[in-house]
Amino acid sequence: MTHHDKKITQIIILAAGKGTRMKSDTPKVLHEIAGKPMILHLLETLPELQANKIVIVVGYGKEQVIQVVEDWLVNYPSLNIEFCVQAEQKGTGDAVLSAKELLNDDSGYLLVLLGDVPFIKQSTIEKATEKICAEDSLSLVMSTKLSDPTGYGRIFRNGNGHIKRIIEEKDATAEEKKICEINTGVFIYQNNSLWQYIEKIQTNNAQQEYYLTDLIDIYNQNNQPVSSYLSEDSNQFRGINSPEQLLEVEKGL
């Protein structure tokens, strides 16, 4: 891999969900924080990364989401954003796979972001990218620690500190739920390897969905250790799943 390729060349933003707990017909990523749809908070951190392409995966309320982003894009002519539709909500693995046709199979890195985790900092993304490059790894999970990790997937490490797997809350035992290090849902993959492995994901879980987190097992099975970047600043990764969380985040701004 040349030095030039050791950067984020492509970004996928998962923004297809309705967000049933928001108790609203508005698409989840269009709920406003400080008067601005949360997806725009996220998009504003991206121009400096200079990715070649950004694909936003839309689903519920897709016309509204596309319109909001396209109106915003008028002021960012250098950003190359395209949209793809996840027809059915079959999980995060399926959402990423649905973007494949719009992406290039290059040797750079691909960043996966969540439309409802809008406050990740550019500096955090850059530090994580430095780590995956330094370790010459094919995949990286961003994690953080929470005093109350309820609702999040827990990080399991093996003896040498590499991530062995992520267990979703719904599939976790009482003992596993005590782990405080959580998956933020933000990942970096070396492009070629991602498309090679993603089709191996199965749906043997409580939700019968294709979990992107199952890729960790697949990388490990192929003797490709999974890197991690543990962020001390858990506020950057606050997911917004309810009106209460929306208010909480707004207060913290």
Provide the residue-wise pLDDT of the chain in tens; the chain has 253 residues.
Answer: 444 467 999 999 999 988 888 888 999 999 999 999 999 999 999 999 999 999 999 999 999 999 999 999 999 998 999 999 998 889 999 999 999 999 988 889 999 999 999 999 999 999 999 999 999 999 999 999 999 999 899 999 988 888 999 998 988 999 999 999 999 999 999 999 999 999 999 988 888 899 899 999 999 999 999 999 999 999 999 878 888 888 888 877 7
Amino acid at 41: H
Contact yes or no for 57/12 (Cβ under 8 A)? yes
Decide: residue 190, CB within 10 A, 0-12 exposed, 13-18 middle, 19+ buried: buried
For residue 148, CA distances in Å to 69, 178, 230 come to: 33, 9, 17
Terminal Cα distance for the chain, rounded: 40
Where is 156: in which H helix or E strand?
strand 154-157
Whole-number pLDDT of residue 5: 61
Q: Which two tokens stand for residue 33?
A: 């924080």
Active-site entry in 21, 157, 165, 238? 21
Query: Token pair of 137, please?
Result: 């790894």
The H or E element spanning position 194 is helix 191-197
Of 175, 170, 139, nearest to 156 by C-alpha is 175
The upper half-sphere exposure of residue 83, i.e. CA atoms within 13 Å in the direction of its Cβ, equals 18
Task: Centre a 10 Å sphere on the Cβ of residue 6 and count the other Cβ atoms it contains.
Answer: 18
Half-sphere exposure of 75 (CA within 13 A, CB side): 7
Widest distance between CA atoms in the chain: 50
> How many Å apart are CA 199 and CA 231, to the nearest integer?
29
d(CA 177, CA 171): 10
What phi and psi values does residue 165 have, to the nearest 5 degrees?
-165, 170
* CA–CA distance, 58 with 224 (Å, rounded to integer): 31
- What single DSSP character describes residue 250? H
Decide if 58 contacts 15 (C-beta within 8 A).
Answer: yes
The backbone torsions φ and ψ at residue 175, rounded to the nearest 5 degrees and listed phi first, read: -65, -45
The pLDDT score that the predictor gives to residue 248 is 84
Domain boundaries, the chain: 3-234
- Thinking of the domain 3-234, which architecture would CATH place it in? Alpha-Beta Complex (3.90)
pLDDT at 240: 86
Q: Which of 125, 124, 187 is nearest to 155 (CA)?
A: 187
In the residue annotation, 21 being an active-site residue is answered as yes
